[in-house]
Structure 1
Amino acid sequence: MGTKTAAILLTACLLLSACTANKPESAASDTSTSTKEQKTVSSETSYRNQTNRDDHNSAGKATVQLNKPVVDSSKTGESATVSATDKTYHLDKAYNVVPNQKGAEKKVILLTFDDGPKEASMINKIIDTLDKHKAKAIFFVNGYRVKEHPELLKLIHDRRQPIGNHSWDHIVLKNKSEAEVKKQIETVQKIVKDTTGQAPVFFRPPHGAGGDVGRKVAKENGLLYMTWSVGSLDWTMKKNQPNKTDAILKNVTEQLHPGSNILMHELPWTAEALDDLLTRLEQKGYQFVDPQYIELPAN
């Protein structure tokens, strides 16, 4: 009996061992795969969460940079409303742009274009370049030109560039009567508002000669009176004159200083030189003031 019992036990052990050895690997494999997938999902979730945090932080940083009050890159020109307490700059007696408080960027430039609006292609070329450099410029317009081509004024406005008053007929105002000066300034205020929905807040007298009466009438209309502190001299150049773009670069850079209020015109050679000019100014460490941050006279 003992021998038979031992034999039976041995046979049972052998059968049990065989069953264990032939057990399918699928369960172990599934467990391993499940563990790997959990690790992968966990890793991807962690990556997405980190990416989302990084995107959020980056967006926050970008917003801070875009909302800097010196250079306009996210604001929309005239359509953006800036309170009096947010005005960062003012013009001094020499018409330079000066910070209102410590800490504001001093190495800034105000860009301006006179005597328009003239041609759609030239306006678009100038504004394309301004947009490329995230810059704004005041376009000082004449009333008689606006009357002839109101669509050009609307083009400037629709492309989010500020519009200034440059008198109706581009005449010297300093020797004119107060009634004539009022007519020259106020008719431009009206036609610009009728065309765009907004009246100008900047005034530049033709030839830089407005006189005391011009200053008085400008102030009565809530206009900031200005001439310029750096002249490109583009208006002195002739169509067939060689190297005009180089001359513009030279004229501006030789006079350049912090707060420069640069006078340019809607002229083909100025439009051609503008990209190189703005690039050079940026390389010198200058930024472009958004005109909406310049302090206006009290009404």
Structure 2
Amino acid sequence: MKKVVKATSLLLLAAVLLTACSSGDNGSTEQSSPQPTAAATQEAAAPASSEPQETAGTTASPSPEPASAASASPGTGSTAGVEAPAATGTPAPGGQASAEEVPVLYHMNKNYDIVPNEEGTDKKVVLLTFDDGPKEAGLIHSLMDTLDKHQAKAIFFINGYRVQEHPELLELLHSRGGIIGNHSWDHIVLKDKSYTEVKKQLEDVQNIVKEVTGEAPQFFRPPHGAGGDVGKKVAAENGMLYMTWSVGSLDWEMKEKDTGKTETLIKNVTDQLHSGSNILMHELPWTAEALDQLLTTLEGKGYSFVDPRSIELEMR
């Protein structure tokens, strides 16, 4: 009987040992652990916490950004591994316009004077104009140098045949900031001409000026101040403001041999001077010589020089 019990005990011990060996991880080289208790088994089966582990008394801090990306500053041209887009010549929206914008503040009345559109706008202004060019580069430079000195703008009423002969002079005048006006092609009296002839005289000038400068004139002055109704009609059809003048310098009556031309020219202007004066001058050597003193005299009397681009293109 004792032998049977002993044999049974041995069999049970062998079975326990076999069970313990089979409970280890398959392929594991680690030493097997003792069987866990029931409570330990239930705890192991519970899902692990999803919260990050922290050291007691501290909070885990995020990893710092790479220095190359965090320290990249605008205008360096690139960030870490990323090349900045190349700059272009197009300004950003809201940027300054390339072309100068001049507000419209004045209009022309039936006396060809310049009048403010609203109360509070300076009315003590004059409009400077020069007819019968472009003639010579030296004269253009002289006139423009003086205008620039006084921060003044002027209309240069040109003849088409002169531009045809010397387009480079119109290019020069335009590049120096002269405002180009239309003075007909041949400088003829237009008031007795047919509509067809007047149209050709004006529109041929419009075309050649636009061809040379890229811009068609917006002002028209008929030669000798005689455009007639047909001249006014054709000017309006081409979007131009028709004008003669309200103050004449009479520089065209002077001769090279005359003395005291500067004083005479200034007197001719100041004797007729009034607010809004539309002053007629010409591209002449003595006018160029007198211009600085004339503009200084006008400024001394409290006058400023209206920018032609601030004038409406319709007469009131």
TM-score (norm 2): 0.68
The residue that corresponds to 1:191 in the other structure is 208
1:80 pairs with 2:97: no
Which amino acid in 2 is paired with 1:104?
T
CA distance in 2, matches of 1:206, 1:80: 30
The residue that corresponds to 1:29 in the other structure is none
CA distance in 1, matches of 2:171, 2:156: 12
The residue that corresponds to 1:4 in the other structure is none
1:41-120 to 2 correspondences below 5 Å: 80-82=100-102, 86-120=103-137
1:226 to 229, 243, 253: 243
The residue that corresponds to 1:133 in the other structure is 150
CA distance in 1, matches of 2:192, 2:116: 33
The residue that corresponds to 1:5 in the other structure is none
Which secondary structure state, in structure 2, belongs to the residue aligned with residue 219 of structure 1?
helix
Which secondary structure state, in structure 1, belongs to the residue aligned with residue 263 of structure 2?
helix
1:205 pairs with 2:219: no
CA distance in 1, matches of 2:297, 2:130: 18
CA distance in 2, matches of 1:188, 1:103: 37
The residue that corresponds to 2:292 in the other structure is 275
Q: Kindly state the Cα deviation for residue 107 of structure 1 after the two structures are TM-superposed.
A: 0.2
1:136-147 to 2 correspondences below 5 Å: 136-147=153-164
Cα deviations by residue, 1:8-65 (Å, 9 ceiling, x for unpaired): xxxxxxxxxxxxxxxxxxxxxxxxxxxxxxxxxxxxxxxxxxxxxxxxxxxxxxxxxx
The residue that corresponds to 1:163 in the other structure is 180
Which amino acid in 1 is paired with 2:100?
A
TM-score (norm 1): 0.72
1:122 pairs with 2:139: yes
CA distance in 2, matches of 1:80, 1:188: 25
Q: Kindly state the Cα deviation for residue 108 of structure 1 after the two structures are TM-superposed.
A: 0.2
Identity %: 70
The residue that corresponds to 1:256 in the other structure is 273
The residue that corresponds to 2:67 in the other structure is none
Which amino acid in 2 is paired with 1:141?
I
1:295 pairs with 2:315: no
Which secondary structure state, in structure 2, belongs to the residue aligned with residue 174 of structure 1?
coil
2:190 to 173, 185, 189: 173
8 Å contact kept, 2:219–2:242? yes
The residue that corresponds to 1:236 in the other structure is 253
The residue that corresponds to 2:199 in the other structure is 182
Rg (Cα) greater in structure: 2
Q: Which runs of 5+ in 2 are unaligned?
A: 1-96
Which secondary structure state, in structure 1, belongs to the residue aligned with residue 239 of structure 2?
coil
The residue that corresponds to 1:12 in the other structure is none
Which amino acid in 2 is paired with 1:129?
T
Cα deviations by residue, 1:99-121 (Å, 9 ceiling, x for unpaired): 00100001000000000000000
1:284 to 301, 305, 315: 301
Superposition misfits of 4+ residues, deviation over 2 angstroms = 79-82
Which amino acid in 2 is paired with 1:113?
F
CA distance in 2, matches of 1:104, 1:212: 32
Q: Kindly state the Cα deviation for residue 172 of structure 1 after the two structures are TM-superposed.
A: 0.3
8 Å contact kept, 2:108–2:314? no
Q: Which runs of 5+ in 1 are unaligned?
A: 1-74
Which secondary structure state, in structure 1, belongs to the residue aligned with residue 201 of structure 2?
helix
RMSD: 1.4
Which amino acid in 2 is paired with 1:133?
H
Cα deviations by residue, 1:190-247 (Å, 9 ceiling, x for unpaired): 0000000000000000000000000000000000000000000000111111111111
Q: Kindly state the Cα deviation for residue 161 of structure 1 after the two structures are TM-superposed.
A: 1.4
The residue that corresponds to 2:283 in the other structure is 266
8 Å contact kept, 2:114–2:278? yes
Which amino acid in 1 is paired with 2:143?
I
CA distance in 2, matches of 1:106, 1:81: 21
